[in-house]
Amino acid sequence: MSDEKFLISTPLDDECDTVTYAQGKHKRYYDPDSKRYRIMDNKKYTKLWNDVDYYALAEGDKDVMSAILILLANMNYDSAITRYDKHYKIRVQVRNREELAELLHMNYNSGWQRQKLAKLFKIGLIFEATATLNGGKPFHTYYLNPLIGMRNKGISLDCYVHFREFLKDALSERAIKNLDRHVIESYNVIPKALSEEDYVDGIVVCQTVKYD
């Protein structure tokens, strides 16, 4: 159980603005220098980018803009899209397009709305990764393009591989080379866009972008 579950008021400078957790850890909610009070301290948040034109990224489609907001609020730290499981009362990863459509308040039985859903894949907002566990039935994981936003400061290698073609123009050359190196070392695969001299015998080329 986390120590932060136990809150104890403490008579410091501003006893109303300061909380002491177990083991003597202090947290001050008000900063007198900036005159700001922390109101969302224990909430998860998503980082958006000031230099991204989200309207252009959505191709001016308001339905896509709406989908972006829902997806941003429902991704985990690896940029995988999740949903709330009412039975188990936990968040789980979306595993098929029907679940994805339900998350986005779309009717998957409607041909028109299935086209709307397919557009999110076609313009590169979502990537559908397919894997098989121990030779069983294939399952899917859906990732949100990190150029839309991220929940973590660092990008996972899985997410990087899927969206490398989008990221190579947004990241520095050094970052791309380092990420490529980590992918090769960790997964024994080569991202699709590496140059010929970077290929290693016996390593499988990894698909980076999948369109519907």
Q: What pLDDT does 112 receive?
A: 93
Tell me: the pLDDT tens digits for 33-47? 888 877 776 777 788
Low-confidence ranges of the chain (pLDDT < 50): 1-14, 193-212
Nearest Cα residue to 75 out of 133, 131, 137, 159:
159
Q: What pLDDT does 35 receive?
A: 80
Q: What pLDDT does 24 receive?
A: 65
- Does residue 125 contact residue 96 with C-beta atoms inside 8 Å? no
Q: What pLDDT does 210 receive?
A: 36
- Does residue 192 contact residue 208 with C-beta atoms inside 8 Å? yes
Instruction: Sketch the domain layout of the chain as residue ranges.
Output: 3-37, 54-206
Q: What pLDDT does 204 receive?
A: 33
State whether the Cα torsion 103-108-110-114 is positive or negative. positive
Q: What pLDDT does 22 receive?
A: 60
Nearest Cα residue to 210 out of 185, 192, 189:
192
Tell me: the pLDDT tens digits for 4-41? 444 444 444 445 666 666 666 777 777 778 888 777 76
